[in-house]
Amino acid sequence: MSPRRLILLLSALEVLAILPIASFPALLPDFIAVWGLTNTEAGWIAGVYYLGYMLLVTPAVMLTDRIDARLIFISGCAVTGISTLAFAAFADDFWSGLLLRAIGGAGQAAVYMPGLRALTDRLKGGEQSRAVTFYTASYSIAISLSFTITGLLAEWHGWRWSFAGIGLGSLIAAILAWMLLKPQTPPGAKASSGFALRPVLRNRDAMGYIIGYAAHGFELTAMRAWVTAFFVFVLARDAAFAASLPSPTVLAAIVTLIGLPASLLGNELALKIGRRRALILIMGISGIMGVLMGFTALLPAWVSLLYCAVYFIFICGDSGALTAGMMAAAEPEHRGSTMALHSALGFGISVLGPLFVGLALDQAERLFDGQGVASWGIGLAVMGIGALIGPLALYWAGRRTV
């Protein structure tokens, strides 16, 4: 299979496998109402997906040093699909939703990075950098489709059939990966010595990208979890304008789709002015915009929506460059360990994004006696503050490295 076809195939399978990821955030206002959830509880269910991911990602990625990543990817797709179907059939309250979303996140741990490893193990030289950027950028397509398909199916047939439909997508990805990807033994499988944390921690260059990725994940998952609810609040303040627009879920899908070209353009900027410099610039602007996002509800609704779209460009502009930087900085003999820590810390911190915003919203609503612009401003400012850790980490790492 040619490199181009291989990149397109793995990216397409990634999209199918990741479809369940935004299913709960897409319908978060509905679940809050139907299940009687607090903002904090909703944040837990939205964030626990990444907790499940964090707990399994290290062994899943480390296994790619020993066995074909294709097999791990297929297993992850199957677990994700089955857990999403189980959510459709059995979830009916906070605890059942929390458990099944955690299992789904654990399945995703065997999808995203193992899929990237399955791709890069089958490519050589300069093809790998391009493949990493395109594969990570395709993640935004998956998120956008997750919002869109979840919202449309829920509108037509109810949320249970919606979850069932996207769960089938993950199972189809498992079948196609088994049929279309040729088996391959990973390079250096016999020499692998397992997870080695200390050498990765000593690699200051790689750690800058890893910490930056964690800050990016905190911001990104918070935005994805709460953007639909924020749009509901903004549009409720301008009913006439809202009547001319698609549903908040579809609007959220449109905004998240911007992440695909943004990630590609961010990587091109990194090639022109230097990866670290580009990332500090992009992440700094993104963090500041995040701090201010909730307060845009004071402005006309169209201005707030446009602001969110521009903000998402900066949120996603660093994703591909951060992962490509980590891959480039990783010592060859510890690449699996570096990828494992990159994913474990990145997605582990991602758990906190939706949760911390939910906690801040609950506290602000108590302080201001109900939901309003001030509570959304304070709640969403949390995600911007977390994002600003990223450029600080990259600056720290760059003080002694080129």
pLDDT at 361 over 60: yes
HSE toward the beta carbon, residue 220, CA cutoff 13 A: 30
At residue 297, what are phi and psi to the nearest 5 degrees? -65, -15
Q: What is the pLDDT of residue 385?
A: 94
Average pLDDT over the chain, rounded to an integer? 85
Q: Which residues of 246-257 are buried (b: 16+ CB within 10 A; e: fewer)?
A: ebbbbbbbebbb
* Structure tokens given for 126: 């300069």
More confident residue, 329 or 213: 213
Q: What is the pLDDT of residue 172?
A: 95
* Structure tokens given for 325: 């930087």
Give the model confidence (pLDDT) of 53-84 as tens digits. 888 877 887 787 778 888 999 999 999 999 99
| The dihedral sign for the CA sequence 294, 240, 312, 50 | positive
CA 14/CA 307 separation, integer angstroms: 29
Give the model confidence (pLDDT) of 13-65 as tens digits. 999 999 998 889 889 888 999 999 998 898 889 888 888 888 887 788 778 77
The pTM assigned to this predicted structure is 0.75
pLDDT at 372 over 60: yes
Distances (CA, A) of 177 to 11, 78, 81, 130, 172: 11, 11, 14, 21, 9
Least confidently predicted of 67-81, 119-133, 139-153, 159-173 = 119-133
Q: What is the pLDDT of residue 28?
A: 87
More confident residue, 242 or 262: 242
pLDDT at 191 over 60: no
pLDDT at 402 over 70: no
